[in-house]
Amino acid sequence: MSSKIISITALVLGFASLGLAGVACGSVNKSITIGPGTETGGQSTVNGGISVGRSAIVNGSLETVNGQITLDDQARARDVETVNGSIRLGEGVTADDLETVNGSIRVGAGGMIEGSVSAVNGKINSQRGTRVAGDISNVNGEIEIRGTEIGGDLTTTNGDILLTDNSVLQGTLTIDEPSGWNWSGRKSRKPRVIIGPGTQILGEVRLEREVELYISDSASIGRVSGKMSSDDAVRFSGEHP
């Protein structure tokens, strides 16, 4: 996660250095709209959102500092990055990495993310039929994964996790232990981790802190390691615990 923070920090500094000269292929204090079915290069702004219409193709990255980025159904882009704002993808959208610091990320049904999905403070939601080739991670915020295949790892520190509807996680599910001066000696609520019906975790479940762990009778997971074991899990049948 630290590498992602560094990456987005570099984005902020890069925009700051370009502020007086203007931002290439974009604007500084204006929102950007890319029409449906059009094809264009990468776009960037500082204070403004970016909206990409249905079936549009962006042959480059979409970047902003303060604003939301939205891609409508069947749109395509490369990296999608914001600092203070959410990322919203419609159905069947293709992109590389999705990154935000303060904001949520939603990937609609049938999405194809060829890189990773990461937030620092924000919810992550992935809908049925989506494929994420890399990792999904955040620090603070719920992660809700439905009917999605994840090629990498799934990681959070303080967020609840719902992994359900026949989702497949190729890597490891990790709940990190909080660290830093502001967490020292402080008690926080236990994250709630639900491994729902039909879910497969091919790697292990690594719990670096105690959580509320619920595992469906129809789920298949690797070993549970760290501060808890599989014996600590609450088993359930049906859709929910």
Which pLDDT band, with edges at 50, 70 and 90, does 63 fall under? Answer: very high
Last residue of a domain, one of 139, 165, 196: 139
Same domain? For 114 and 183 the reply is no
Contacts of 118 (CB under 8 A, 6+ apart): 1, 4, 97, 98, 99, 100, 135, 136, 137, 138
Same domain? For 193 and 100 the reply is no
Same domain? For 3 and 109 the reply is yes
Measured CA to CA in angstroms, residue 69 lies from 85, 98, 105, 113 at distances of 7, 10, 10, 15
- Residue 72 resides in a domain: yes
Same domain? For 40 and 98 the reply is yes
- Residue 132 resides in a domain: yes
Beta-ladder partners of 107: 89, 126
Same domain? For 21 and 73 the reply is yes
**2-16, 18-32, 108-122, 169-183 — which one is most confidently predicted on average?**
108-122
Same domain? For 70 and 124 the reply is yes
- Residue 53 resides in a domain: yes
- Tell me which of 24-28, 41-45, 53-57 is least confident: 24-28
- Residue 182 resides in a domain: yes
Same domain? For 111 and 193 the reply is no
Same domain? For 200 and 105 the reply is no
pLDDT value at 44 more than 60: yes
- Residue 144 resides in a domain: no
> Which tops the pLDDT comparison, 206 or 3?
206
Strands 112-113 and 131-132, how do they pair?
A: parallel
Last residue of a domain, one of 115, 139, 163: 139
Same domain? For 133 and 160 the reply is no
Other CB atoms within a 10 A radius of the CB of residue 55 amount to 15
Last residue of a domain, one of 89, 112, 139: 139
- Residue 145 resides in a domain: no
- Residue 45 resides in a domain: yes
Which pLDDT band, with edges at 50, 70 and 90, does 9 fall under? Answer: low
Which pLDDT band, with edges at 50, 70 and 90, does 28 fall under? Answer: confident
Q: How many independent structural domains does the chain possess? A: 2
pLDDT, tens only, 137-166: 999 999 999 999 999 999 999 999 999 999
Same domain? For 124 and 160 the reply is no
Write down the pLDDT at residue 24: 47
- Residue 147 resides in a domain: no
| pTM > 0.85 | yes
Average pLDDT score, the chain? 91
Same domain? For 161 and 56 the reply is no
Same domain? For 14 and 124 the reply is yes
Domain that holds residue 227: 153-241
Contacts of 2 (CB under 8 A, 6+ apart): none
